[in-house]
């Protein structure tokens, strides 16, 4: 199902990699992933999340703080029972691995533009096809997927639509306006308001919202390292002042925060 990122022709397995009939060849990395992001499609030397963000997110997620979010996502994926699925913007693969566990007989792919993320992600579930690739040019055939996941990631809607077969769908998971509110109140004098449904205006013709739900729970973060990781894996890690961040991390009492997620499922007619 892989398509050449340079000419879109089908890629087939060759010695330690994949190649297309035009002779474009991509080696498999020692860790097992394929790098299908040609240098001419990169807009910086190391695009996507950097090592510090990837490691902070990995440690925070591995500690289980967002386990209910992943569990619900895996249940929703299993209900759709796709033959082929892709996690677009998979990061270091925490959610991807749980989708894979819920879909043991499906053909699973995961991609991210960050090399540091994919290098770590592919260790979680070697049976998946892990790709360094751009979500703007996903190296997979048109109409080849029944389920796409986009978790806390930017999204190229038209490209997602191109990948889906009719009846297939995209599960988008993201924060509601109340997500981490107590943390934001500590970090900023004025908490930025945002609406959590502005992505609905971006849904392309031919796709429609088929299901929506929210998941909310409270976290109590007693360890300074957990609070530091939470800050480092979000934009608050650079947006908030160093002084406010230090106050949050070093506070004597646990940080009690609301986790509030929205799951939207869009189907291609
Ligand atoms: C907030 S992280 C979410 C990662 C993962 N889904 C999770 O929730 O743990 C957003 C991810 O999108 C990736 N990303 C950003 N732009 C991208 C692009 N154009 N193509 C593919 N991935 C991209 C980043 O590298 C990062 O890993």
Residue of 152 and 39 predicted with greater confidence: 152
Reduced to 3 states, what is the DSSP secondary structure of residue 20?
coil
Per-domain residue ranges of the chain: 27-263
Q: At 248, is the pLDDT very low, low, confident or very high (cuts 50, 70, 90)?
A: very high
Residue nearest to atom 15 of ligand 1 (CA): 48
Tell me what the mean pLDDT of segment 226-246 comes to. Answer: 96
Helix axes 51-62, 94-102, angle to 10 degrees: 50
pLDDT at 40: 85
Nearest ligand 1 atom to the CA of 61 is 9
Q: What mean pLDDT value characterizes the chain?
A: 96
Supply the residue whose CA is at minimum distance from atom 10 of ligand 1: 153
Q: Is 18 in the pocket of ligand 1 (CB under 6 A)?
A: no
Mean pLDDT of 21-39: 96
> Burial, 244: exposed, middle or buried (Cβ in 10 Å; 0-12, 13-18, 19+)?
middle
Q: Is residue 21 lining ligand 1, measured as CB closer than 6 Å?
A: no
> Which whole number is the average pLDDT over 29-33?
97
The model's confidence at residue 237, banded by pLDDT at 50, 70 and 90, is very high
Strand partners for 85: 108, 147
Distance (Å, rounded) from C-alpha 88 to C-alpha 96?
A: 9
Percentage above 70 pLDDT, the chain: 100
- CA 162 – ligand 1 centroid, Å: 19
Q: Considering only CA atoms, which residue is closest to atom 12 of ligand 1?
A: 89
Give me the architecture of the 27-263 domain, per CATH.
Answer: 3-Layer(aba) Sandwich (3.40)
At 43 the pLDDT is 82
b/e burial code for range 130-143 (CB count within 10 A of at least 16 → b) = bbbbbbebbbbbee
- Determine if ligand 1 sits within 6 Å of the CB of residue 57: yes
User: pLDDT at residue 42 above 90?
Assistant: no
> What pLDDT, on the 0 to 100 scale, is given for residue 108?
98
Mutate to test the pocket of ligand 1, among 85, 152, 153 (most ligand atoms within 8 A of CB): 153
Question: With a 6 A CB cut-off, is 117 part of the ligand 1 pocket?
Answer: yes
Looking at the DSSP bridge assignments, the partners of residue 213 are 263
What pLDDT does residue 194 have?
Answer: 83
Position 192 scores a pLDDT of 87
The answer to pTM > 0.95 is yes
Query: What is the pLDDT confidence band of residue 9, given thresholds at 50, 70 and 90?
Result: very high
**Distance from Cα 219 to the centre of ligand 1, integer Å:** 24
Q: Is the pLDDT of residue 256 over 90?
A: yes
CB atoms within 10 A of CB 176: 18
Please give the distance, rounded to the nearest whole angstrom, from the Cα atom of residue 151 to the centre of ligand 1: 8
Between residues 192 and 24, which one has the greater pLDDT? 24
| Closest CA to ligand 1's atom 16 | 48
Sole residue written with tokens 């806390």 = 152
User: What is the pLDDT at residue 104?
Assistant: 97
CA distances from 200 to 23, 73, 148, 196, 263 (A): 41, 19, 17, 9, 12
The verdict on the CB of residue 36 being under 6 Å from ligand 1 is: no
Indicate if the pLDDT at residue 41 is higher than 90. no
CA atoms within 13 A on the CB side of 209: 13
């Amino acid at each position: 199902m892989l398509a050449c990122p340079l000419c879109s022709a089908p890629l087939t397995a060759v010695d330690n990699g994949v190649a297309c009939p035009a002779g474009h060849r991509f080696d498999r990395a020692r860790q097992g992933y394929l790098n299908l992001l040609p240098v001419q499609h990169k807009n910086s030397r190391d695009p996507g999340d950097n090592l510090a963000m990837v490691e902070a997110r990995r440690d925070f997620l591995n500690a289980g703080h967002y386990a209910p979010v992943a569990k619900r996502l895996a249940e929703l994926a299993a209900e759709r029972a796709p033959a082929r699925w892709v996690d677009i913007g998979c990061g270091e693969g925490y959610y991807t691995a749980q989708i894979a566990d819920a879909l043991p007989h499906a053909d699973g792919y995961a991609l991210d533009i960050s090399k540091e993320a994919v290098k770590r992600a592919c260790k979680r579930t070697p049976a998946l096809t892990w790709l360094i690739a751009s979500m703007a040019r996903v190296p997979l055939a048109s109409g080849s997927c029944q389920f796409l996941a986009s978790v806390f990631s930017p999204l190229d809607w038209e490209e997602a639509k191109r990948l889906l077969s009719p009846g297939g769908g995209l599960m988008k998971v993201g924060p509601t306006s109340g997500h981490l509110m107590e943390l934001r109140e500590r970090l900023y004098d004025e908490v930025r308001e945002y609406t959590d449904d502005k992505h609905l205006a971006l849904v392309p013709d031919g796709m429609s919202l088929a299901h929506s739900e929210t998941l909310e729970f409270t976290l109590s973060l007693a360890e300074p390292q957990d609070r530091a990781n939470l800050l480092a894996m979000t934009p608050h890690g650079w947006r908030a002042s160093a002084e406010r961040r230090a106050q949050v991390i070093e506070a004597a009492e646990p940080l009690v925060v609301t986790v509030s997620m929205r799951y939207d499922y869009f189907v291609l007619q």
